[in-house]
């Protein structure tokens, strides 16, 4: 099992968390040709992995956890949801908790990767905290 952090704010202003939760999915708001490195990560996400939705503003060291879920379907290259319909990627999620709103103070060297749209979480201390929020 792997743990992944994802953002839910597209284009800087379009919050997608309600769409994700209501329709049981996640996606990223980037096209494959624009962010192939994100698609490399997406392709590694497997059923049973954990995904958490986070917010980590550029000038902050406090990551807010919004929701945690478990992957239920592998990556699709089409949209079956009604939310952000232009994403062209979709992973099914069973949301375990979707109204968390708890924070983690980030003090390791990987803070910049956590500010992005999608990343693999490797810090076991943070993983333990995320799981405790469920």
pLDDT, tens digit, 9 for 90 and up, residues 35-76:
999 999 999 999 999 999 999 988 889 999 999 999 999 888
Total structural domains in the chain?
1
Question: Residue 112: its pLDDT value, please?
Answer: 85
Determine the average pLDDT of the residues in 122-129.
95
Work out the pLDDT band at 81, boundaries 50, 70, 90.
confident
In angstroms, the CA 2 to CA 21 distance is: 20
Tokens standing for residue 98: 């979707």
Domain with 64, as residue range(s), is 3-132
Work out the pLDDT band at 3, boundaries 50, 70, 90.
very high
Question: Residue 12: its pLDDT value, please?
Answer: 74
pLDDT tens across 88-113, in order? 789 999 999 999 999 999 988 888 88
Tell me the pairing of strands 118-121 and 102-105: unpaired
Shortest CA distance to 7 belongs to which of 82, 89, 61, 63? 63
CATH number for the domain harbouring residue 12: 3.10.590.10
| 8-12, 25-29, 84-88: range with lowest mean pLDDT | 84-88
Instruction: Write the secondary structure of the chain as one string of H (helix), E (strand) and C (coil).
Output: CCEEEECCEECCCEECHHHHHHHCEECCCCCCCCCHHHHHHHCCCCCCCEEEEEECCCCCCEEEEEEEEEEEEEEECCCCCCCCCCCCCEEEEEEEECCCCEEEECCCCCHHHHCCCEEEECCHHHHHHHHHCC
More confident residue, 116 or 72: 72
Residue whose tokens read 């503003």: 57
More confident residue, 32 or 86: 32
């Amino acid at each position: 099992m792997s743990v992944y952090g994802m953002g839910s704010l597209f284009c800087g202003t379009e919050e997608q968390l309600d769409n994700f939760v209501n329709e049981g999915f996640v996606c990223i708001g980037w096209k494959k040709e624009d962010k192939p490195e994100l698609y490399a990560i997406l392709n590694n996400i497997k059923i049973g992995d954990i995904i958490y939705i986070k917010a980590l503003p550029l000038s902050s060291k406090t990551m807010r956890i919004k929701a945690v879920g478990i992957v239920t379907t592998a990556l699709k290259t089409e949209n079956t949801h009604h939310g952000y319909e232009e994403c062209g990627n979709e992973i099914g999620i069973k949301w375990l908790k979707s109204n968390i709103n708890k924070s983690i103070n980030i003090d390791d060297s990987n803070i910049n990767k956590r500010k992005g749209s999608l990343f693999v979480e490797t810090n076991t201390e943070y993983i333990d905290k995320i799981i405790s929020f469920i």
